[in-house]
Each structure stands twice: as structure tokens, then as C-alpha cells.
Structure 1
Amino acid sequence: MKDLNLVPIFSDQNMSDLETLTFYPYPKNKKNIQVMRPYHWNDRKKLLRDYHYIFQLYEKYLTEITDSLNLIHGIHHPVDYWRIIIGPWLHYFISITLDRFETVRIAAENHNIKFTELPNYKIEDWVPSSYVEFNHQYYSDEWNSYLFSEIIKYTNLVNSSKSSLEIKPKIYKSKKIKGYLIKSLLFFLTRITRNFPKKVHMIEVDIPQANLYRLLFKLKSFSLSYYQRVVPKKHPIDINIRKDMFRSKEAINEFEKLLDILIPLNMPTCHIEGFKIIEKQAENIFPQKVDLVITSNAYFSNEHFKVWIANQKQNLTKLWVMVHGGHHGTALFNGPGKLTEDIADRFYAWGWGNYNLPSPKLSSLNKTNLSQIGNNILFIPYNISQYSNHLDSSPIAASFEDCLIMHKKFFNCLKEINLEKKLVIRLKSGIVPRDLKKEYTELSGLNNFVYSDEESSLESISKSELVVVTYDSTFFLEALTLNKPTCLFIRKDFWEMSEHSEPYFKKFLECGILHYDEKSLARHISNVQHDYSSWWESDLVQLSVESFLIKYGLSKEHWEEDWYNEINSYLEKLSK
């Protein structure tokens, strides 16, 4: 084996004379670069094993954190209290750290690494104020360079030396809120009326405001319910408290020894130094007492909501959480989905759960009569970061490189049948994990892109004869609900489906909706391109779509009645 220098992430630091090994692609102008392949979670059996291991660690450390935070804050709350507040950050942090640790460990095993050069940084610069700031961090090169460096510093995997490079966090600017003044007024009115009597309260639910107020009025629990998130203040870290968080013990292995150090050091300040402030602010935002709380989104990253609902649940308030995305019920395993179900008294799905309610958005789309004004082939790519952050049965981080190769082959197939000019690739705007426009352009020379802030999804679909979705997603459900000719184009080995969903995907495969390789999809398009409607409106396709949506994308014309009956029935039982 050659002697190598290991660089945790690409940078402009000076390279030694040794050939350099890195975990992610370097700029093309760098010399002597060897990219580490294959990615360890391309081994899907290992991915599933690690998924279960992460949840074992999650429960173990959640118990330890419960004891520590109770002691720090002088309170006595159970594990499930802290599960709501710190659970999302803890699970993601363990998942991320395991991936980076395994990457270094495998590199050290497979290569003769002489040393690695670590950048200079201050730990306090990298401790997030909240989950939202953490979410911004883990997509960046800078934060991943910091984490790789911490792993190397606290383990014996690789010898290290200091470089002259200094790294600092990226500064993220908040987006301007459209209609800020009216929304601020509604939020103010919500806060000052928070203690009016109410039985049910809905916070960050995927329901249009007019429908929401109509539903609350019918339930005789009418109240203003518009919330703007309050950004937690970042506090100076108390390093002494953090170092003493976990009781002394013998770590089982090197990774858990590493977590014993990194979890306390990296925990968001809103859980330690700023916790009491968050708790006080939450009391001034949300109601003092409510019987039932319903949310679709706030439970994961709204720090004030999490502290408030954790306290409410101590007083017997019930929490219902509504599913808000595809590939939850269809996935063989889904880390964020399991976190969601574990904190909810009731978790509501779109047909596949123990409790089910129709999706308001899908119900609205079901009533939409969409006119076709174009003949594009709309291509919807899966945009994921080169850095993993959670585990589910989908492409993870560098696994997506193989998907890009499959996409390139599909684009070439379209050229062979003279359809490449009809292809339009719809990309997400704003802060995105990777520059897919650049990657697709370099792969295939394509230049026909549209961004989500340039036109709505309905506009993009209406301009198209066919929609090609490259991931099992809400967009796929929306296209099916609109009854638009749609194909799902995925790698079978990277999209493991649940046992109960497999029969539905088998039907999709038989009727031409699902394709696992580029030749199959291109051949299908070539066969039906002159009359997509005849294929799509056939009994086999329509029955397959209808049965799938009943199970995984439930919608109803009068969805509000279902919601009212479900909530009202529960409240009536409470009053008896």
C-alpha cells in the first residue's frame, strides 16, 4: 500500500508530497487525490444493522441525558419528557457521528495513512443554539471538517498534525417572511388570547388557515392559531457543566467512548445554558392548558413548542402528530418516522397506520382539474447531501453517486429516441444540499431546468405529458392524485420497501409506472409517447393507482368532516 495523507474534507490547505486520501470529491484542479470508495453504507445489510445499532445507542444515551439534564436544571422529568425535547438532535447526531467515524475507521484499515492534517478551530463556535442551526450546519463542508477533526482527535484511528488552515462556521441569513406585518399581527393576537378556554389546539398543521379556523369553530374551540417561530438565542457554553454531564463508566467500544465526549460538547445551548429562558418564553407563547394538541411539523425543530408540549404532557395533555411526507409507510425502515411515532400519543397516517385521516393537501389536489398546456417530460430528482444525516431505506449520501450515473444513462437513452429536448428538470430553490444543475450539466450537457421558486409544481406538471419522479415521495403522491401520467424511476437496491407495500409496487412494475433501470423506462416512454392517456387511463393502471392512494395517499372531497368526527369523538369521550 502507498503511504497516504488523509484530509477530512476538501479545502485550500497545502498538500504534502504524499498522495492524499479524502472522503469526498476534490475540485478537479487538485493533484495527487485519491477518493475513498466504496461508501460503507452502500452495503445495505450494514446500513440496516447500523440503523438498529443507532436506535440502541439513542435509547441508552437518552437515559443518561435525562439524568444529567434533570440534575443540571433541578427538575425530575421522565425519559419521555426529554425524548420530545432533545430526541431529534440526539438521534441525528449519533447517526451523523457514526457515519463519519466509520468512514475514518475503514480508511485507516484499508490504507496506509501516515498522518492527517487537522484545521484550527474553537469548539464554542460549533455548538448550535437549536436543532434548526444544527440542521444548517450538518450540510456544510466546514462543520463536517470540524466533526471529522474531532473524531480523529479523540480516537486512535489516525495520527494527526496541525495545519495552518482555520475553519469557522458559515453564517446563515434568515429568509424574509412574506406578509411579515400581517403574520406578526396574527401571532401577537394568538399570544394574547392564548389562555381563552380551548379543548384542542393545532400548531404547525398542514391545513390552510381558513380551513383550520372553520374546523376549530365547529369544534367549539375557536381561537387564533397562528405561530411564528421564535429563534432561540445562542448562549456561551459552560464547558465545566458539559464535561461532567455523563457519569464515569467503562465504554463498550471506541465509538461509544467517542460519543461520551462529543454528545455533551455539541448539545444545543437551548437544552443546557438557555433551557430556562426557552421554558419561560414558551409559557408566554402557548396556552396554559389544553386537552389535545395536534401538529404536523412543530414536534421536530420548534424548540419552544417542544418544551411546552413536554410540560403539557406531564399534565395529561395528549399529542397527535400527523404524517407530512411520503416514504414513511412504504419504507422498510425510516429513522425520522420512528422518532415521530415514538413521541405521539396518536400518530395519524394517510391510510397505512393504526390511525388514519385524509391529507388536506392531497384532498385539495384531488379536486383540481389540471389542464395540459405543454408536452414536456418533467424530471423530478432526489436532492440529497453528500453528507448523511439520518438513516432510512433510500440512497444515503455517496450512494446517490450511483443514482446520478443511472440518470445519465436515462438521459442518453432519451437522446437515442430524440426526446431529450422535451426533458425539463425541476430543481428545488433556496439552500439545497448539492448543486444538481451543475452535476447534471457536467454529466449530460443538459440545460433545460426550472426552479421551484420560478413556477409552482402545478404549473410544471400542467406543462408536461409525463412526470418522472426519482424518489418515493410526497411529489409522487401528488402527481398520482392529480391523475397525471407518472413514472417512478428508482434503484431497487437503494429503495427497500416495507413488506405491506411490496404488492402495490409489484403492480406498479407490471403496469409500467415503476422502473428500476433506465432502459426499461426509456423503452416504456418510447412505446407510449404518442398516446400517454391510453396507457394511463387503462383499467390496470387506474386500479393500481387507486388502491395505492387509498393505502398511502388518502384523500377525500369532504376531508374536514373526517377530521371533525375524529377529533370531536375523542373530545366527547374525554368529557364523560
Structure 2
Amino acid sequence: MSNKDEVFLATTALEEFWDTSKPLLFMGEWCNRFSRRAFWETLEYSFLPNPWSSLDKINAGNQYLNKVYEDILEIVGSKLNIIHGVDRSKRYWRIVLGVWLFHYAANVYDKFLRLKSITEIYPQYTTILLSEKDYIIPSDTEDFVVRIINDTYNLQIISRMLKLEGKILPERGIASPEKRQIPQVNNSLSKSIKMLWYKLLDGKANNGMYMQSSYFSKSDEFRLKVRFKSKLALGFDEQLPMDELVTNLTMRAELSDMKIDTEDEFVRILVKLIPQDIPFCFLEGYQTLYLASKKKFRKYSNVKAIFSGTSWYFDETFKIWAADAREKGVALLGGQHGGMYGINANLHQEDYELSIVDKYFTWGWDREGFNNKIIPMAALKLNDIKDLQADNQLKDILFVSNIWPRYFLRFTPILPHEVSTYIEWQIRFAAGLDKNIRDALHIRGYINDFGWEYADRWSDAKLEVIMDSWEIPFRKRLEQCRLVICDNTATTFLEVLASNKPTILFWDFETHYIRPEAMPFFDELIRVGILYKTPESAAHTVNQIYFDIESWWNNPELQKVRSRFCERFARVGPLREWIYEFSKVIAG
């Protein structure tokens, strides 16, 4: 295709929005569903250039996005203060809407770069937009995330962007448009049991601490409650019901009157998009949620500290209450709740959590510049983990993989354009195993494959591996296997190493960017034969060690390196360490 050709930009995997009579230009790998390759492989097509093709571009993009996020947060927060008649700090609005704002901005920025490149390469391009009658505004942060990982909402954002550019393009409706998801009361049996449990652990926490979604085990929560009695109250994430909301055009018009003096083309577009797409919970529904948060948390009016691992993300009433409490001087405490923290470069969730809390408990690592905030501790999630050790009597090899959304949300170890290669590496590993060993291989993919059709890709490889079921809890499955394989830096590999279960790791160091201060610990894993840089070398080692896993895993030098690594990134320790830290917080 020459740059004078009229090409058609395929923006999503929704094929009814493609015009196959023209050469297709796919906006990204998310357009190409694996199950439909027999169709799209027969077409004339190419891909837009990928804006994240090198570490330098990723670092620059991350730095730029962080700056834009900070600038826009200031502007949006100030405008929301006026709209809602309040005077809240930037930190308040960071807690309340920061998760949505960053991920929305990141998604739009990725689209902005791709649309800019097609305008430069194929100025005569055409595409089909989503009809405005099918546009939808998310209810809250969770509803936004559910939508942004799927096709229709991404098509909506692209359509808005192209209209802002003044493009006159054909539009089309969706045959079965999605409806906005309104948070409803959950009356399930499991919810009722959970409510009874936390009612037992509740209290006013006068001059004490409130804890929610902590990642402590139930037994540890109970022990903490017994120790601190009325000084500790424990709760859980709960999406309060929100009535059907009608778009308030006056409110959104007022928000659109954001003044920003900049020549930055992306920022100008983002400022125009935010008033159209900001979730209802921050605008039309804010007052309702604010009153609901006051009612729900009114008994905790005299707490000294609020602690959570994950409620900072999707529990809107908790976020409003915690942000309001911080304005009044209550300390906010956060805790690491998974892998990649302290390990991967450009990890937004780590930066975000550090930015909103006063103290942050990690699984053993620290970070330059945060000495007064970070407290290395025993891992919350690993406090009750068993020491499983090696066992030659077991058979199964459990390969625990991960997957990431098809659309760009933030810089993750695997970006959308890298997912197919990531899965191919897994298949290369399986192909490298001796047949009698491969027969023991069980593949445990992520519970949601985000439309990558993970199981179909394995089936297409014709290696006759067993797809593991999520019906058996991971900890139980861990006890049943002889060896665990991990190919990413998410939570699982830390959990497995902490359990002392024989482990082989491998991943592409060109995508899993390890931060410099963490790399010496990974170099040691490489040295003793736990971590590998190619799937073939990992498979070769499995072929050598499988029939006497005990001798390999119990090697003193290997165990020393494993223990040292876990002390830094997956520390296991007694609950009394937490009791000591919480006692200091409560004592003030």
C-alpha cells in the first residue's frame, strides 16, 4: 500500500465496523481474534506502527503520562471542587478518582499516538465510527475497567477522538448495545457469610484502626481482633447500590470549561474528552455516594488510621470516606497485595499506592526516596503459607501463566502487541519437553483471557497438554504438583518460591523490565538454575531434573539463594511483627 491509497482503519475486533473492500490497516493486535484468523488472514492488511517498540519509548511514555496525569488531576480536582461546592485537596481527588483518571488517560494516549501515525502515513484513510446513540458513560471505576478491556467502549473513545479532530466519517450502531451496569445489592449466601464474619470483627475502633481488604487470612484477622479488641475494626469491600443516573448536561458543561494553557495536542484532546467520559460516580452520583459513605462509616469517626490493600481501587464509598478522613488528619496505611511490586520498572500501581498513603508495608523490599514511608514486612498474603518442599512421589508439572488485556491501560510487563509472542514462548517451552515429561504438564491460565482465546491457541499447537481447572484452589493445586513453572513476575512465582515448592522460571527480559536495584537478586536465581532467559533452556533443565526433583531443589546453594530472594520480595514471618507495627500506629 502506498501512502496515497485509501486504506480502511480497523479500530477494534468488531468486524461489522470493517470495510473489507479496501486494504485494511489494523490499529493494534486487539483487532485480530485468533478464532477469526481464517477470515482476516485472507484479506489485504497491515498494522499501524507500534508506539511502544523499545524500552526508551516506554520510559519516555511513562514519564510523560505521569506528568500529564499530575497536571490534569490538579485541574479536574479544582473544577470538581467548584461543581460540588467543596474545598478538597489534590490528594483527596487522587484517592477518589486517580485510578480512573490515569488509566483513562493512558488508554487515550495510546490511541492518540496511533491515530497520529495513520494521519501521517495514510492521510486519505477512512473508518466507521460508533453511532452516538450507543455511547455509554461508566457508572464507576469498576464499570469503566469492565468496559475498557472490551471492544465497544474502545470504539466509542476512538469515535469521540476522531470527531474532535473534525473528521466526517460514516457511523454505525451496535446490534445489541451494552447497557450501563448499575451497582446492585449483592444478596448471595457468600456475601451473607462474609457480612456475619466481619460483624463479629467489627467495632468502633475508637482511637484505633479500621482495616478493609487487607489480604490477611481469616485466621490472622481473627488473631488481630483478639489482640486489639475494640481498637481494631475490620470491614470488607462493598459496592453500595446506585440509582439509575441521568446525564446532567449542566454539570458536564461546567466541567468542560476547564482552562488549560498548553500547546500539547494530546492534553488539549484529553481535557475535551474527560467531561464526556468521566464516570457518573464522580459527577452526577458523587453527592449520593458521599452521603452513603458518611452513613456507612459513621461509627468510625474517631479512628487514628485506615489500612487497606486493595480498596483504593474500586470501592467508591471507601475511597470517599478515606480521602475525607485524611483531610482531617487520619493516617492512611497501604499494603502490597501482589507481585511485580519492587521488581518491575514503570509500575504505576506501586507509584499510585505510594502517592496516596502515609505508610506502606511491602513484602520485604524498599525503595530509594521512600525511606520514611516504606516499611518492609512479612507478606500479608503469604503469612499462612505452608512449607511444601520437594517430593519425588508427585507427578504433575503445573505451568502457571498470566495474560493481559487486549487494550492498553498502563505499562505492564507484557503489552498488547507482545501477548501472541508471550503465548508462543509457552508453547515453545512445552515443545521442548521430552514427551514422557510433557504428559505431566498442566497449563493453568489466567481466569479471564481477555479475548485472546488462550485455550484455543494451545489446542492449535497440538501438543496434547492438559488445561488445568480453576475449580481447585491454587494453594491446593500447589500441594499436588511436583514442579511449578512460571513465566512472569506476577504474584504466583513469589507465592511458589515462598512455599519452597520446586520452581523453574523463564521470561523474556526484553519485555519484563526488571528495575536495576532488583536485578542482582534475579541474577542469583539465574546462577543457581531457577530462572532462564529462553523457553528452550528452561525446558532443557526440566528434562534433566524431573526424575529426581529432590536432589536438585535441596541443593544448599540453591536454597540459600531462594531464601535470600524471598527475604527481599516474598518475606514470610510471624504475625507478631504486624502486631508490633499496628501497636505503634494505635499508640500514636
TM over 0.5, shorter chain: yes
Residue 127 (structure 2) aligned to one of 116, 124, 127: 116
Taking the aligned partners of 2:484 and 2:49, their CA distance within structure 1 comes to 32
| Residues 379 and 469 in structure 1, CA contact (< 8 A), matched pair in contact too | yes
Q: CA deviation at 1:240?
A: 2.9
Residue 18 (structure 1) aligned to one of 9, 19, 22: 22
Q: Does 1:544 align with 2:561?
A: yes
Superposed, 1:178-327 pairs within 5 Å as 178-186=189-197, 195=204, 197-222=206-231, 225-233=234-242, 234-245=244-255, 246-286=257-297, 287-327=300-340
Residue 93 (structure 2) aligned to one of 70, 74, 82: 82
- Which residue pairs with 1:126 in the alignment? 136
| Residues 333 and 360 in structure 2, CA contact (< 8 A), matched pair in contact too | yes
- Which residue pairs with 1:413 in the alignment? 432
1:354-380 residue CA offsets vs partner (Å, 9 max, x unmatched): 312212331211456787763122111
Percent of matched pairs sharing the same residue: 20
- Which residue pairs with 1:63 in the alignment? 74
Amino acid at match of 2:19: M
Amino acid at match of 2:6: D
Taking the aligned partners of 1:428 and 1:241, their CA distance within structure 2 comes to 40
- Which residue pairs with 2:370 in the alignment? none
DSSP-derived class of the 1:468 partner: strand
Q: CA deviation at 1:197?
A: 2.6
- Which residue pairs with 1:520 in the alignment? 537
DSSP-derived class of the 2:547 partner: coil
Cα distance change, pair 164–564 in 1 and its aligned pair in 2 (3 A): closer
1:344-403 residue CA offsets vs partner (Å, 9 max, x unmatched): 1001101112312212331211456787763122111121111121124x1112222221
Q: Does 1:429 align with 2:447?
A: yes
1:183-242 residue CA offsets vs partner (Å, 9 max, x unmatched): 34456677xx76463511111111123422321332243555233502352521212322
1:56-79 residue CA offsets vs partner (Å, 9 max, x unmatched): 011101110111010001111111
Q: CA deviation at 1:408?
A: 2.3
DSSP-derived class of the 1:492 partner: coil
DSSP-derived class of the 1:306 partner: helix
Amino acid at match of 1:150: R
Q: Which moved more, 1:435-444 or 1:500-509?
A: 435-444
- Which residue pairs with 1:535 in the alignment? 552
- Which residue pairs with 1:8 in the alignment? 11
Cα distance change, pair 224–315 in 1 and its aligned pair in 2 (3 A): closer
Taking the aligned partners of 1:522 and 1:195, their CA distance within structure 2 comes to 55
Q: Does 1:32 align with 2:34?
A: no
Residue 177 (structure 2) aligned to one of 168, 171, 174: 168
Taking the aligned partners of 2:179 and 2:542, their CA distance within structure 1 comes to 44
Q: Does 1:358 align with 2:362?
A: no
Q: Which moved more, 1:403-412 or 1:488-497?
A: 403-412
- Which residue pairs with 1:52 in the alignment? 63
Q: CA deviation at 1:430?
A: 5.7
TM-score by length of 1: 0.91
1:481-507 residue CA offsets vs partner (Å, 9 max, x unmatched): 111111111101001111211111111
Q: Which moved more, 1:461-470 or 1:256-265?
A: 461-470
1:284-321 residue CA offsets vs partner (Å, 9 max, x unmatched): 21122210111111112110001001111111100110
| Residues 130 and 303 in structure 1, CA contact (< 8 A), matched pair in contact too | yes
Taking the aligned partners of 2:556 and 2:116, their CA distance within structure 1 comes to 53
Taking the aligned partners of 2:72 and 2:216, their CA distance within structure 1 comes to 36
1:249-305 residue CA offsets vs partner (Å, 9 max, x unmatched): 444232112101111211111111111111111112112221011111111211000
DSSP-derived class of the 1:465 partner: strand
Amino acid at match of 1:386: R
Gaps of at least 5 residues in structure 1 are: none
Residue 456 (structure 1) aligned to one of 473, 476, 492: 473
DSSP-derived class of the 1:282 partner: helix
Amino acid at match of 1:217: V
Residue 42 (structure 1) aligned to one of 44, 47, 53: 53
DSSP-derived class of the 1:365 partner: coil
| Residues 143 and 169 in structure 1, CA contact (< 8 A), matched pair in contact too | no
1:132-154 residue CA offsets vs partner (Å, 9 max, x unmatched): 11111111111111122222222
Gaps of at least 5 residues in structure 2 are: 367-373
Residue 384 (structure 1) aligned to one of 385, 388, 404: 404
1:75-119 residue CA offsets vs partner (Å, 9 max, x unmatched): 111111111101111111111111122222223333454311112
Amino acid at match of 1:236: V
DSSP-derived class of the 2:125 partner: strand
Cα distance change, pair 521–37 in 1 and its aligned pair in 2 (3 A): farther
Q: CA deviation at 1:513?
A: 0.9
